[in-house]
Structure 1
Amino acid sequence: MTAWIAGVDGCPGGWIAAFQPLDGPQDCVVRVLPDLAAICEAPEAPAIVAIDIPIGLPERVGAGGRLAEQVVRPLLGPRRASVFPTSARAVVEAPDYTAAIALARRGSLQPFAPSPPAHAIFPRIRAVDAWLRALPDRRGRVYEVHPELAFASLNGGAALAHPKRDPAGADARRALLRRAGLPEPVIAGPPPRGARSDDLLDALACLAVARGIARGRGVSYPDPPERDAHGLPAAIWTLLPDETPP
């Protein structure tokens, strides 16, 4: 039976998921799906899902966010600002932005207020968190990744100079995905409806990490992962150097 993996990134239409069979590196199916349940229950039934979303919420957190974000951020040079500090669980679970800021300002949970971009993904964080807590047997299939760290790993450990929506940045990311052996028609093709071009490239970078994890060549930051109060791992995964192209 063919084993599938998936790389997943958020997009305006939900989640863009790139599915690939481990024994068919030139095959890739990309679609937009509504949630993590739909991805894991897709016909491909991926054994490993590498998803760009924080997993593992601390009860309290310091200025730099979780340890995962603190150790990854220095690796990304000019792209370090793309790694938002994850808020404490109570702040993420606040009913609205005003309540989240009020909780943060108390100072007992975290020393920073969530930024608007960070708050915008709170519903996604809550949805993934609730699904994983409700289904403990799925936790071993789902790994947190960050596309900028994935691209840096594919680039021999060097962060990319240009942001992803800059034409030069997009070209550099496509070149790295080609060198990683992902299929050209998908890299160069249009994203599915509900996703942008940069969402597609990020999902493919996540797919490259999923492939490395499946081959036993993934690495987590921190290593070993921390665990939150519900037992969920709190770590960002990427590729070991020998899983990157020459």
Structure 2
Amino acid sequence: MADPGNKRIAGVDGCKAGWVVVSSDLRGQGPYQLQVFESFAVLLAHQPEFSTVAVDMPIGLPDHIGPRGRGSEQAARKHLGQRQSSVFTVPSRAAVYTDDYLEACSVARETSDPPKKVSKQCFYLFPKMREIDTVMTVALEERVFEVHPELAFWRLNGEAAMSLPKKIKSRPNGPVLDQRRDLLVSHGFDKTFLDQVPPKGVGRDDLLDAAANCLIASRIAAGKAEPFPNDYRRDGKGLRMAIWA
């Protein structure tokens, strides 16, 4: 039997290079490790296996979308105040599996009520959504959990939304990221680790988001995290649609 002391948990964020992972022991404490994986399938196959994976990417894609998106997105936004716009409305699975933006908008309108097109920001995430959707199964739900950095920071900040947006004019803002780094340091992260120059294809904001997700992974592993919403639904593949924090 594997030694529980050797198990590691992973906070994951999508990035230009693929997927950035900040991992730790089950308690969300060091030694911390920063890794980059080219695909989500490779990440899941990594040995030794990550026992809990908290990833910032939608899991569970409905066949039809209502007025405000998935219940998980609605539940998360309620806690985020001015930061709620960071939680995108994910379109239907059929829309996510399109490669052309205009086609995606057309399919999204046909599978939503009221008809709603896809934002460009969300469309650019489709390849990574498909990566997860392709490999995700109900059995994997024991290891893999959807999270969202803004809800993670809300939880870590005493259940208060962060006062400053992560990005200003679509670009990461230094002082804003410093605020988030300092919050992570207060939860046990080493400042030097968080201030390191990220690998190629990984932004500083990606690293900080993965670190926040790692702390949520530790809450999940300890049975302290909760799903938003509590009465989550499942999609056509049987996958739960819940954001954990």
TM-score, scaled relative to structure 1: 0.91
Query: Which runs of 5 or more residues in structure 1 are unaligned?
Result: 239-246
1:129 paired residue among 133, 148, 155: 133
Take 2:40 and 2:225, find their aligned partners in 1: how far apart are those partners? 21
CA contact (8 A) 1:88 1:109 kept: no
CA contact (8 A) 2:64 2:111 kept: no
Shift of 1:181: 1.0
212-221 or 157-166, larger mean C-alpha shift: 157-166
Shift of 1:94: 2.1
Shift of 1:108: 5.2
Instruction: Kindly tell me the number of residue pairs found equivalent between the two proteins.
Output: 236
Query: Which runs of 5 or more residues in structure 2 are unaligned?
Result: 167-171
1:76 paired residue among 80, 89, 97: 80
Shift of 1:107: 5.7
| RMSD after superposition | 1.6
The residue number in structure 1 matching 2:180 is: 173
206-215 or 72-81, larger mean C-alpha shift: 72-81
Cα shift readout 1:97-138 (whole Å, capped 9, x = no counterpart): 1211112333656621010000000111111001014xx432
Give the secondary-structure state (helix, strand or coil) at the position aligned to 2:99: coil
Query: In the alignment, residue 220 of structure 1 is paired with which amino acid?
Result: P
69-78 or 109-118, larger mean C-alpha shift: 109-118
Task: Evaluate the alpha carbon distance shift between residue 194 and residue 93 of structure 1 in structure 2; reply closer, same or farther with a 3 A threshold.
Answer: same
Task: Evaluate the alpha carbon distance shift between residue 179 and residue 110 of structure 1 in structure 2; reply closer, same or farther with a 3 A threshold.
Answer: same
1:3 paired residue among 7, 23, 44: 7
CA contact (8 A) 2:51 2:143 kept: yes
CA contact (8 A) 1:160 1:169 kept: no
TM-score, scaled relative to structure 2: 0.91
Take 2:130 and 2:87, find their aligned partners in 1: how far apart are those partners? 18
Task: Evaluate the alpha carbon distance shift between residue 25 and residue 105 of structure 1 in structure 2; reply closer, same or farther with a 3 A threshold.
Answer: closer
Take 1:46 and 1:56, find their aligned partners in 2: how far apart are those partners? 21
Query: In the alignment, residue 140 of structure 1 is paired with which amino acid?
Result: E
CA contact (8 A) 2:27 2:218 kept: no
Take 1:132 and 1:44, find their aligned partners in 2: how far apart are those partners? 19
Identical residues among aligned pairs (%): 39
2:160 paired residue among 152, 158, 165: 158
Take 2:203 and 2:28, find their aligned partners in 1: how far apart are those partners? 25
Query: In the alignment, residue 148 of structure 1 is paired with which amino acid?
Result: E
Task: Evaluate the alpha carbon distance shift between residue 118 and residue 137 of structure 1 in structure 2; reply closer, same or farther with a 3 A threshold.
Answer: same
Shift of 1:225: 2.6
Take 2:67 and 2:28, find their aligned partners in 1: how far apart are those partners? 43
The residue number in structure 1 matching 2:55 is: 51
| 1:215 and 2:222 aligned | yes
